[in-house]
Amino acid sequence: MAEVRINSVSKLFGEVKAVDNFNAVIRDGEFVSILGPSGCGKTTMLRMIAGFEKPSLGEIYIGEQLVSSAAKSLFVPPEKRNIGMVFQSYAVWPHMTVFDNVAYPLKIKGYSKNDIKSKTDKALELVHLDGYAARIPSQLSGGQQQRVALARALVSEPKLLLLDEPLSNLDAKLRESMRFEIKDLQKKLKITVIYVTHDQGEAMAMSDRIVVMNKGVIQQIGTPTDVYETPANRIIADFIGLVNFLPGEIKDGMATIPGLGLSLAAPEVPAGAATVAIRPENITIGRAGGRLSGTLVHKFYLGDAVDWRVEAGGFILRVIDKGMEHDDYRLGDTVSLDIKKYLVFPGQP
């Protein structure tokens, strides 16, 4: 296992700052996801940890080893960092068998034939590909090719595993099953994992902690519960999960939403313009008894839930109804809404 320490790391490409003052500690045996939209700098940060990019500023430690330091002009190449890497594109060699693909890192390092055989067989068994050793990649499904890439990353028994959006090329059902396989594998091997993704579902399901990035800057580091329930700002609230944003005004510790006639307690938010954020699953819908009245304008059946759009006070509110007890509701019906949870941020949406 390996602790990873990233101290004030920045990366510039010309005048563009792809990563800006990144500070984080990934603990031994921890599964940490770096989450953010395309172009936020997450893959650049992963490549600096791997040794494929040099930081412009700052230092990176893997375990006790300083592997990158801009100030000390120190840079340890990837092959000497004892890491495993899985890429988005799989990067398996089409002319090699599954066995040879997985064994390749061991051959490069000069392992004996016996060690190569035993370690490669073990790695293939770990990813449930024992019996596929003689096949070539064109004879495998996308999920099986991704398992080959994963076995190759693990065959050298690295102390750190890095994954760069490894499931993005798979279909939805296979992507979900692979999430749990990777997480189970990480627990079994007790290996430190840094996982880059733009998919919030992957990050929420797999991670011990999530590093949320936007425009090269860390926005928040926390558990999946932290970043979902108590996002540090509107950027995170908007990126992770679904949310209704409503313009409000803070006065005397209360957030008032013009048009809705609704006031919500917000004692810690300074007076002035504000944004009220309400997740769709935190709005209940009924015939009466709620704090708001609205009209049903759209209905989207999701199988295990109904995704309603409700017009109220000039706003269109999204309401996720998982109870499924409102099948008799029709578009145009007047409904009553209540709010179970909400967040208030300074500034307008």
- Domains within the chain, CATH numbers bracketed: 4-236 (3.40.50.300), 242-346 (2.40.50.140)
CB 94 within 8 A of CB 60: no
CB 260 within 8 A of CB 246: yes
Question: Residue 316 and residue 336: Cα distance in Å, rounded?
Answer: 14
In this predicted structure, what is the pLDDT of residue 90? 76
CA atoms within 13 A on the CB side of 45: 34
Q: In tens digits, what is the pLDDT along the chain, a chain of 349 residues?
A: 589 999 999 999 999 999 999 999 999 999 999 999 999 999 999 999 999 999 999 999 999 999 999 999 999 999 999 999 998 887 889 999 999 999 999 998 899 999 999 999 999 999 999 899 999 999 998 889 989 999 999 999 999 999 999 888 888 888 888 899 899 999 999 999 999 999 999 999 999 999 999 999 999 999 999 999 999 999 999 999 999 999 999 999 999 998 888 899 998 899 999 999 999 999 999 988 889 999 999 999 888 889 999 999 999 999 999 876 677 889 999 999 999 999 999 998 7
What are all long-range contacts of 265-272, with beta carbons under 8 Å and residues at least 24 apart? 266/344, 269/344, 269/345, 269/346, 270/346, 272/346
